[in-house]
Amino acid sequence: MIRLVLVMIARDEAAVIARALESARPHVDAMIVLDTGSTDATREIAQAAGARVEGFAWCDDFAAARNAALSHSDGDWNLVLDADEWIEDGAQALGPQSLPAAGGGFLGEVKVASRIDMAGTEGVGQAWIPRVLPRGVRYEGRIHEQPVSALPRRRLALVIGHDGYLPDNLARKGDRNEVLLKQAIEAAPQDAYLWFQLAKEHQARDRPGDAANCFTEALRLAPPDAGYRHPLVVRALMALKASGRVGEALTLADAEVGDWLESPDFYFTIGDLYLEAASLEPDRALNHFLPVVELAWKRCLEIGERPDLEGAVAGRGGYMAAHNLAVFYETLGRDAQAAEYRTLADRLRS
């Protein structure tokens, strides 16, 4: 019997697939790559890295491809990775003490640390995603597919790096995901999660107006307890601000603040939002908007980092908030406070 198998679907991933497979190879018993129609050297590179490569005729359905790949595995557990991901930390969570032979009664959630472009600077967004699946679990969903199981979910200490959202990689993938998301929404227009994912696609491609529209629709449809509510609210605030809809963003912030009193991401975004409002209404800036900016970024530091929150961005509860406060005080001519927070930012960043 095989305990743990890496299962991957890929197409035209020659630039990155070796990194993914080499990161996983020491920690799994076998590797399976389902190639969905590569025209580059993806298959050959995967085979050279030790993977068994199977073929699949792409049918515009990610769940169908995932399930076809899983059907080739005879492992008790399956680790699902994409080609633009890699094991970054916590590989001990894949050991037999965590994932015993003969399987287990849970789906393992791992932290996916996605590199994101933040105004030309690379940031890291964090999401908890079920990627360690016991034998027999299968996916549903044409796009942004999810494993379907009544089993409980357990967070593992495994960290998966991902750089598929960086501009060069988005350009390489083209508009495949956007097309599939629009088709899926046409078939299920009341699905809030699909609207959320389409909004993220627009946001990653720097289309704030389209992103704001889709986030607004997702907010209208999503239940208050949706597991993705935190990143939905934070990203919606960012998109509304970026598209010039500051009044709508302020209204949304007021409506949501009670639910995110312990979220540095929420308060970090509030600071940015109120700074934008100050620039638009300078007569109200000093007495109305700027005090909120200052308090919001200080609140980020009081809360600290919250990597357990879905969609959290590393640094918003630490060096990024301290940096913003340093710049804030420099702009106001408060040099002593600026120096204090500059020092703090450097310390937290290191």
For residue 132, pLDDT over 90 is answered with yes
- Its pTM stands at 0.88
Buried b (16+ CB within 10 A) or exposed e, 190-213: ebbbbbbbbbbbbbbeebbebbbb
| Spatial distance between the Cα atoms of 51 and 73, rounded to a whole number of angstroms | 12
Are residue 107 and residue 52 in the same domain, yes or no? Answer: yes
Report pLDDT for 177: 87
The residue segments making up the domain with residue 197 are: 169-349
Report pLDDT for 116: 85
Cβ 85 vs Cβ 165: under 8 Å: no
Any residues with CB less than 8 A from the CB of 266 and at least 6 apart, and which?
Answer: 230, 233, 234, 237, 256, 257, 260
**Residue 145, CB-side half-sphere exposure with 13 Å CA sphere:** 21
Residue 212: closest CA among 191, 241, 192? 241
For residue 172, pLDDT over 80 is answered with no
3-state secondary structure of 162: strand
Are residue 164 and residue 189 in the same domain, yes or no? Answer: no
Beta-carbon count within 10 A of 83 CB: 24
For residue 337, pLDDT over 80 is answered with yes
pLDDT-based confidence at residue 119 (cuts at 50, 70, 90): low
Rg (CA), the chain: 22
pLDDT-based confidence at residue 121 (cuts at 50, 70, 90): low
Are residue 164 and residue 182 in the same domain, yes or no? Answer: no
Per residue in 6-41, pLDDT (tens digit) is: 999 999 999 999 999 999 999 999 999 999 999 999
Are residue 141 and residue 222 in the same domain, yes or no? Answer: no
3-state secondary structure of 44: helix
Three-state SS sequence of 243-268: CCCHHHHHHHHHHHHHHCCCCHHHHH
Lowest mean pLDDT among 62-71, 79-88, 111-120, 314-323: 111-120
Are residue 154 and residue 247 in the same domain, yes or no? Answer: no
Cβ 129 vs Cβ 158: under 8 Å: no
Per residue in 219-238, pLDDT (tens digit) is: 999 999 999 999 999 999 99
Q: What is the CATH number of the domain that holds 18?
A: 3.90.550.10
Question: How many domains are contained in the chain?
Answer: 2
Query: Could you identify the residue written with the tokens 């699902």?
Result: 80
Report pLDDT for 169: 76
| Spatial distance between the Cα atoms of 209 and 248, rounded to a whole number of angstroms | 13
Per residue in 241-291, pLDDT (tens digit) is: 999 999 999 999 999 999 999 999 999 999 999 999 999 999 999 999 999
Average pLDDT, the chain: 95
Domain limit, last residue, from 117, 143, 168: 168
Q: Where are the beta strands (DSSP E) in the chain?
A: 2-10, 30-35, 52-55, 75-80, 85-89, 107-118, 121-134, 138-140, 146-148, 153-162
For residue 157, pLDDT over 90 is answered with yes
Domain limit, last residue, from 108, 133, 168: 168
For residue 120, pLDDT over 70 is answered with no
Please give the average per-residue pLDDT across 303-325, as a whole number.
97
Cβ 29 vs Cβ 52: under 8 Å: no
Report pLDDT for 46: 98
Rounded to a whole number of angstroms, the distance between the first and last alpha carbons of the chain is 45
Domain limit, last residue, from 168, 195, 226: 168
